[in-house]
Chains A and B, each alone.
Chain A
Amino acid sequence: MLSALLVMAALAIVLGAILGFAAIKFHTEGNPMVDKIDAVLPQTQCGQCGFPGCKPYATAIASGEAPINKCPPGGEEGIQKLAELLGVDPIPFGGDTQPKPKSVAIIDENTCIGCTLCIQACPVDAIVGAAKQMHTIVASECTGCELCIAPCPVDCITMQIIEEKITNWKWKYPVYALNAVASAGATP
């Protein structure tokens, strides 16, 4: 019994020492730029930028593969923060990426058949429910990414715009319209 304990302890100590040494020897800094960009992104993990989440989009921006105007949940404010961080000119939203008002998904609980498809689609696990049981959305977790709408077979999910109330009102950041600036910059 004692020898078994000693053997396992010795193994653990030796392996721990090797791994500890390797951790110092092969230490890698995560790309600090990616982390900074990731901190600016809204973390909705919605995939509207065409990347599977905020971190991959941040990686793509850092490596110069993606423009900074692909994040609708971040809004123009997000673009300006990114532009400031990266030291580039802010560019307005273009094409099919347009900012949307902040909203939350609502499940019509009378229509829901409990198919769990929306649960699998939700990137932030904001939907609770089980097979053949009614599902519901944890509004505080919902990022309004709309990924749950497409998979729903009975179309019982709707987006509800969050209205500004006294409880959720915040001071606005001073945002100037990017479109105006961009066109004004183009004229001279």
Chain B
Amino acid sequence: MTEYLLILISAVFVNNIVMVKILGLCPFMGVSKKLETAIGMGAATTFVLTLASGSSYLINHYLLGPELSYLTTLSFIVVIAGIVQFTEMVIQKTSPVLYQVLGIYLPLITTNCAVLGIPLLNVQAKHNFMESLFFGMGGALGFTLVLVLFAGMRERMEGADVPVIFKGSAIAMVTAGLMSLSFMGFSGLIK
């Protein structure tokens, strides 16, 4: 059990998918303007990512095996696209407001490199099924955490007295960089 907890903490803080591995920057910059959308996006990505890492493990282990390992990227993308479509339908049915707010970023979860990156990292690290699941969930929770934190900061910055040339995306980029630096402080937390 400690092992899974370690994987979770490591994925959320130490090897944070956005801040340390620099994956999934598109929604990180794109959907972080408002706190509510950030939370919605984080929840949707968590759902997709957990499902994707579980099912991609099953595919890689039982369907592909060592001799068809060249198909990993291809089959993972197919599965992710399917799961995203499924999620989109579910969200459209259950929460039309969230569906409208997330807009184009919802189908774009397919091309979120974090969602493909984590299953591939799972394969690389030779995780078993539960480890894959926890690593996927941890990565997604880390993504959500960073997205929500960043959205909060950006909401604050709306009212801040920022020099004109730094306004908008520029100051957001600088803030993201500083955030990434601060996440480096977590390295060494788990040996």
- Report A's interface with B, CB cutoff 8 A: 3-4, 7-8, 10-12, 15, 18-19, 22-23, 26-28
Q: Which residues of the partner chain B approach A12 to less than 8 Å between Cβ atoms?
A: 78
Whether the Cβ atoms of A23 and B59 lie closer than 8 Å is: no
Contact B92 A11 (CB under 8 A): no
A27 to chain B minimum Cβ distance, whole angstroms, is 8
B92, A8: Cβ atoms under 8 Å?
no
Interface 1/0 per residue, B72-106 and A, CB below 8 Å: 00110011001001100110110010000000000
Q: Is the CB of A7 within 8 A of B78?
A: no
Instruction: Give chain A nearest CB distance to B35 CB in angstroms.
Output: 22
Instruction: For the complex, give the distance between the alpha carbons of A15 and B85 in Å.
Output: 10
Q: How far is the CA of A27 from the CA of B94 in the complex (A)?
A: 11
Q: Could you show 5 A-B contacts with beta carbons less than 8 Å apart? A: A7-B63, A22-B89, A22-B90, A23-B89, A27-B93
Nearest chain B CB to A8 CB, angstrom units: 7
Indicate if the CB atoms of A19 and B93 lie closer than 8 Å.
no
Query: How does the 8 Å CB contact mask read for B158-191 relative to A, with 1 for contact and 0 for none?
Result: 0000000000000000000000000000000000
Which residue among B63, B79, B90 has the maximum number of chain A CB atoms within 10 Å of its CB? Answer: B63
Determine the distance from Cα of A23 to Cα of B78 in the docked complex, in whole angstroms: 18
A16 to B46, CA, bound (A): 23
**A11–B86 CB distance below 8 A:** no
Q: Does B1 contact A (CB under 8 A)?
A: no
- Secondary structure call for the B interface: helix
Known A-B contacts A11-B79, A18-B86, A19-B82; the reply to A26 vs B92 at CB < 8 A is yes
- Determine whether the beta carbon of B59 is less than 8 Å from that of A11: yes
Q: Are B74 and A15 in contact (CB under 8 A)?
A: no
Write the residues of chain B forming the contact surface with A, with a CB cutoff of 8 angstroms: 59, 63-64, 67-68, 71, 74-75, 78-79, 82, 85-86, 89-90, 92-93, 96
Bound Cα distance A3, B92 (Å): 37
Contacts of B78 in A (CB 8 A): 8, 11-12, 15
In the complex the two chains form, is B90's CB within 8 Å of A26's CB? yes
Contact present for A8 and B74 (CB under 8 Å) = yes
Can you add 14 more A-B contacts, CB < 8 Å, to A7-B63, A8-B71, A22-B86? A7-B68, A7-B71, A7-B75, A8-B74, A10-B63, A11-B59, A11-B63, A15-B82, A18-B86, A19-B82, A19-B89, A26-B90, A26-B92, A26-B93
With A11-B59, A22-B89 known to touch, is A4 a contact of B68 (CB < 8 Å)? Answer: yes
Residues of B within 8 A of A18 (CB): 82, 86
Name the B residues within 8 Å of A10 (CB-CB). Answer: 63
Given contacts A11-B59, A11-B78, A15-B82, contact A4 B90 (CB under 8 A): no
Please judge, given known A-B contacts A10-B63, A18-B82, whether A4 and B89 are in contact too, CB under 8 Å. no
* Distance from B120 Cβ to chain A, minimum over Cβ atoms (Å): 17
In the complex, chain A residues whose CB is within 8 Å of the CB of B89: 19, 22-23, 26
Minimum CB–CB distance from B183 to chain A (whole Å) comes to 35
Which A residues touch B67, using CB under 8 A? 3
Pairwise interchain contact A15-B71, C-beta atoms closer than 8 A: no
A173 to chain B, nearest CB (A): 34
Separation of A19 and B82 alpha carbons in the complex (Å): 7
